[in-house]
Structure 1
Amino acid sequence: MKAVCVFCGSNVGRNPAYHEAAVAVGTALAKAGLKLVYGGGKIGLMGAVADAIIAAGGLAAGVMPRALFQREIAHAGLSELHVVETMHQRKTKMAELADGFIALPGGAGTLEEFFEQWTWAQLGIHRKPCGLLNVQDYFSPLIAMMQKTVTEGFTGERYFEMLVIETSIEPMLQRFATYSPPPQKSHAPKP
C-alpha cells in the first residue's frame, strides 16, 4: 500500500474531536510512509488532514474539479494537484491514485464518495479496503442502517464484514495492511 484516499467534510463540524481525528489521520499516514489522496481543499477537515500530513513530512495529492479550483479553495502546499473537469473525473482519479479508502465525518459528498468505493469493492471493480473512522460514534447510525441492509437481505454479510470500522486510525491502518477482499458479488440465482 502506497496511498490512502480520505473522504471527509469541507467543514470542520461542531465537535472538536473531528478535527483532532483529521490531524491524527494525516500524521499517521505520514508516519506510515503513505501518501494522502483527497479532494485537494484547504478548508474543513480536508484541509486539516492535508496540513497534518505536510507538517509531518508526508506527501499529499489533491484532486479538484476546475470550478472549485477557480474559487481559490485549493491547498497551496500539496506535493501534487490534479485539476479535472467534473466530479466524476475527480472520483475516478482519486480511485486510481489510492490503494484504500477512509471516510472521516462529513456530509452528503463524503457519504456518496465512500459508498461508491464500497459498491465498487463489492462488484470487484477494485480490491481495495474501505474504512469508516467512527469518531465519537459519528457513523454509528449509518453502520446500523448498513447492518439492516444485511438483515433485510439486500447486502450479503461478507460485504458488510469487508468494511474496516475503527475508532482510531492506527488499528485501521494495521487492518488495511493485512486486508483480504471477499469474492466479488454475484447475482446468480440461489438454488
Structure 2
Amino acid sequence: MTEKIICAGFGGQGIMAMGKILAMSALREGKSATWLPSYGAEVRGGTAHCMVVLSDGPIASPMVEKADSLIVMNDPSLKRFRTALRPGGLLLVNATLAQCLGTSRRLRVVKAPLTQMAIDLGLEKVANTIAIGVYLGLKKIIALSTMEKSIEEVLAHRPNLVAINKRALEEGFFFAQKLNKSR
C-alpha cells in the first residue's frame, strides 16, 4: 500500500498540522511516511500545502506529482491542485469555503462542510482535524486511536486544544461513516 496525499488551503487553516498528524500516525503504526511542507510567500492567509506519502515499504521521494487523495480547504487550493489528482482519486472538498464544480475526470468527490462543522463544535480552527477524520473514515488506512495519540503529541504545547481536536476527529470520522452507509 502506498498512499500519496496533498493537503492544501490557506495559511492559518492548520494544513501543516494536518499533514504532520497523518505522517506521525502512519509511523506509529510501523508504516513509512514522508511529510513535505510548502508555505506561500504570505504564510498566514497565503497558500499553504503539504505532501504526505504513506507506505508499507520504502518511499523513494516525498514529492507527489499525482496524488491518490487531495484534501482542499478553499477555492484557490482546489483550482491550483485539482490537476495533481490521479484519475479515480479521492477529492475531499471543504464545501463551506470551496465550490467543486463538475470535473471531466472520474474522481471520488466528497463535499463536506468542514468549516461549518468546526464552527458548530465551537472552534473554527478544528476544520483541519475534521478533514482528517473524514479522510480516515473514507480510506481506513490508519486507526482512529492512532490518530488521537498523534493529535496529543502534535498539540502537547497546547493541551487545552487536545480534547476539542479529538472530538473534531471523531465528528469527521462519523460524517464519513454516514456517507459510506448512504452509498
TM-score, normalisation: structure 2: 0.35
Q: Which structure would you say has the larger Rg? A: 1
